[in-house]
Each structure stands twice: as structure tokens, then as C-alpha cells.
Structure 1
Amino acid sequence: MDGHKIAVLVLPGAAPLDVGIPAQVFAPRHGLGYELRPCSLEAGPVAGRDGLGFVVEAGIEALAEADTVIVPGFQNPAGPLDPRILDALRDAAFRGARMVSICGGAFALAAAGLLDGLRATTHWLLAPVLAREYPKVRVDGGVLFVDEGQVLTSAGVAAGIDICLHLVRTDHGVQASNAVARVMVAAPYRSGGQSQYVPRTIPEPLGEVFAATREWAMRHLEEPLTVEMLARHARVSARTFGRRFVEDTGYTPMQWILRARVDLARELLESTTLGVDQVATRVGVGTGANLRMHFQRILGTSPSEYRRTFGGGNLARTGAAPPAGPAAGTAK
């Protein structure tokens, strides 16, 4: 990924946090090889939102050289955009650049026709407007982000952190994204399917109990876990726990547990020499065959292929070290 160029398109009325998040996540100090270049239609000052403005050193030509294009939220997203901006977005996508939006930036991708036929999200307040203005887009206003391969969209504000960390995770693996999250004092992983907000019908103390239960479950992934056990820890009925867990996270309890186990397996494959069967035992999925099945279904790859892609090299980038002692085995 060395020399991976990221153009951040700062449009008039850009949201300061939406612009700042990519600058933090893809900063050179993380040692991941990203080259960030804020740009606009023309180089120079760009009026921002909430009393903050920007000065960018590059014009729209920066999109022609970018490997990834990020469009943060901007003022009046449902309004018209300069045709030169839309043409530059289309050209970048046609060239194969990865296209990403944060919050209302989805409107720019939609206006360029890049979301037609795709599932996409934006801030939940803007989702009905996006659906009305662009009926060819399958708008899902209830999730944190949507990854459609070349095109990715995220919800508003803090969800920009989630999608940027997701990009790091995709490019460099779990260990690297977790290292960046630690520096930013951010949650290392919130899945794209997680709800943008918790419905107000859920009492706040119950939400806190569920958070404690999720944390408890993360410490016991190696053990057999059931909905009944989780509900007992949360001190609610299994039926109530299951229903409210879905409302809170976007996943059933066991779907969430499985994904947590797969992520733990990814970290072990990156940072240890444990064999696939040993990793499967450590994360609670039983056998290597089960782990391979879950990897293929969730990640579209195998544990061995994942280790070949992300193992070893990430240790140096993130400053992590493999466990002491003799090798525990090899991937199968």
C-alpha cells in the first residue's frame, strides 16, 4: 500500500469533523503508506461549516491521481453540484479508484450516478431525502456504513471513523486498524451493520447492561456461549435480550458472537504462528473446517490466504511483537 494516494474532496460548507477524520486515520505517522491530499474544485480557501474553513493546496485534478477518493459531508447536499466535480468523480470511478463518502457526501456520489443500483447509507436524518432524490439508490438509513466493493458510504459524524478504520482493516488487516484506533482513542471495531443509533424505547440502564455483556462475551469467546448465557449475564429473559440486541447492534446475539470470533481469529493469524485448527479452538468455533467456512462466508477468503496477505509484515508496521516462545504450529 506504499504510496496509496487518497484525495479528500472538500466541497463548500464541508463538515469539519468529516474532513478531519480521514486526516487523522490516514496520517503518515501511522506508517501505513497513505498519502492524503485535500482538494476542491480549485486550490485555495473553501468555506466550511460551523464557523470553520479550509485552505486546500490542490484542485479537482487531484482526483485523477487518487487511488481512493473520499467525499465528506457538505452544505446543502441535495442542491446542484458543479458539473466539473461530477465529471471528475465519474472519471475517478471509471479509472478504478475506490469511492468513499462520509455523511452527506453520499449525495455527491449519487449525483454522479455512482450509487445507482447499489445499497448505500448516509446520516439517518438525510436518508429519506437521499432516497427521494435518487430512487435508483437502495438507501439504508439505519446502518453505520455500507461496503459495496469499489463504492463505500457511511453515516454521519462519528461513523466516519468507522468507515475509515474499515478501509485500514481492508488494506492492512485487523492489527493495523486496531493500532490506529488506539492512537485515536476510538472503538477498534463497529460493524457496518450496527445501528446508527439506539431507539429511545430502550431504557438507558438496559443499554449499559448490554454493553457490559458484550464486553464480558469478548473475554469468553473461547468458551461455549448461548443466548441464554448472555441473557442471564444481562439479567433479562432470552427473548428480551435477543430482540433488544438486534435493535442495538443490527445483529442477532449469535451473529455478533460469530463475527467477534472471526475478528479474533484474524488477529491471531496476523500475530501468531498458531495453526488454523489451534486458532479455531482459541476463538471458540471448534474446528479448522468451521473456521474456514466462516472466513469464506464473512470475508470471502480462507484463513491461510488471509495470513499470507496480512501476517508478519503488519507486526513491524504497528510495533506489535509476536508471542514469546516456540512456534505453536503452522497454518493448514
Structure 2
Amino acid sequence: MASTLIDGRYWEATITLQNGSVLSTSAPQHVTFDIAYHPNTSVGHAEISFYGFDRDTVYAIIEQGSRIEFSAGYRDGFERIFYGVIRNVHHIRSGVDNYIRVFATSVSQDAQQAILSKTWGPGTPYLSMLHDAIDAMNGTLNLIPRDATYWRDRLGYAETSGFTFADYALRLAQDLATRSRSMLYSYSADGQLQNSGIYSQFYLCAPGYAATNDVHIITPETGMEGSLTYIPQGVIVATRLNSAMHPCDRFRVESQYYAASAGNPYEDNQRMLTANAAGEYYAETITHRGMFDGDVWTTSIVGRTPYA
């Protein structure tokens, strides 16, 4: 792999065509990517540009591109950061550059536009309605924590008049996540699940819970860039690309910064104080950005306190 690395960075992609053919490409071919997971949309978005494809490959992807898997990282390890459905492909010529830009989402357009029209009787758990919404999108629901009783109590029950809904199933799922002050996000299902009729995996994560017990440590020594930005009940932090970071994961920030002493600010030999900034958060919004032969190769994270 050494010959395919630039400054220790590596990436690879697999594009599946509608006819079942698979196209694979990897470093050192030039690529740029912008991949974002945001709980307000519940759908992951990817914009990935590939350079250097021959004409036949370009037109095969434009005409038959179906799914894309993209992994990125470093010499010491890389992981998949996106797997989804290709929505559109642009063939772009700019000066001497000739490349394609692939737009993809973690949930197919058909699933996003699936309509659910149903009436539930009084006392129906909203959790049952959420399962119906996910089923309408040919998806599967993963609860974090997994305790169904916890989620029935957190989401509540339909009132005495029952509940009627006729709109996009995804909208109902998002409304119920908001109702429970929880985070809903998705990944496209892999081929094995798709063969069983499941096309998307949705995750509903309650504040203070994570999919695993692992805690990502973010410090200047592990690649933290710049300073923390504090927001209400959370932080924004940037680090070198962390392909292992997923929505709802826990992370801990540990950093130090220097502050001027309370003495005369005009003194030449002013004493500097070291202050610590540390805290544990869970990842709410994640954005991965990279340019293979450029300086930008980062993960930006909006983190919330465990019980925000």
C-alpha cells in the first residue's frame, strides 16, 4: 500500500452498477469528498469527485451507477465512512480537469418519498407508529438503548382520539424522534440486507446513550485542529479525519490553551497561564471532508453533552 499513500493518507471506493457489475478505484487517484450526517435530515449525504476515469467508465457510472461505498483514512487504518444510493452524477470539464461528481444519500429517493397513510387507535404506542414508518421505507430500526419498554415510555402513547397520519413516512419518523428529543440517522443497508428486502438501516439514539461503550479521545496529540468552539450544551471540534467516528458515538475532548495573566497586559515578559478544556460529549453532526493531494482532510463534529 505504500505506493498508494500521500502523506500517510489512503482511500478506496466501490461503485455498483445496475447490471451488478462492480467498479473499484483507490489512491493515488485524485479524489475530493464531502460527507455529512445530520440528525435534522436523518439522511446522510455524500458528494464525491473522482478524477482520471476513462471515457467508458465515466459513461457506465452516469448511465448505471446504483450504489457507492467509500472508505478513507491513514496508513495506520481506514474505515468505511459512507455507503449509500447514487442519486445523480455530473460529468465536469474545467480547464485541463476532467472528472465526475457523484451525489449519493444513505436512503434511496423511493424510501424518502414513501407515503404512509394510516390511523392508529387510542393508546397505541408511538413506538409502533415509528416501526410502521420505517417499514414503509423498507428499512429496519435499531434502538439505542435497545430496551423497547424504555422507548415506549419515552415516546408515549396515542391519546383517546387516536392518531391519523397521511404524509411521507420519513417525516413521521423524524417527528417522533423530535418528540422524544432523540437523534434519528441512517445508513444504506449492505447487499446481504438488500437481498432480504431491507434497503436502509435507521438508528434512534437517546441522549446519554451510545451504540458502543467505546469513547473516542480527541486531543492535539491525536489530531485535534484549532480550538474548541463552545455552543449551548455542547461543542464544535475539528480533528484529522476520523473514519471510526459515527453519529451517536461518545467522544472526549482533552486540550490545553494559554491565557494571559491578570497582570499588566502591556508587560513584555507577561506570564502565561495554562488552562485545561475537557469534557465528554456524543456526536450529533459529523462532516468528513478531504482532498487527496491537498491540506484538507478533516472530520468536524458537533457534540452535545450526554443529557442535553
Sort the TM-score into its range (normalised by shorter chain).
under 0.3
Q: Which has the larger radius of gyration?
A: 2
Higher helix share: 1
| TM-score, length-scaled by structure 1 | 0.24
| TM-score, length-scaled by structure 2 | 0.25
Query: Greater RCO between the two (CA within 8 Å, min separation 6)?
Result: 2
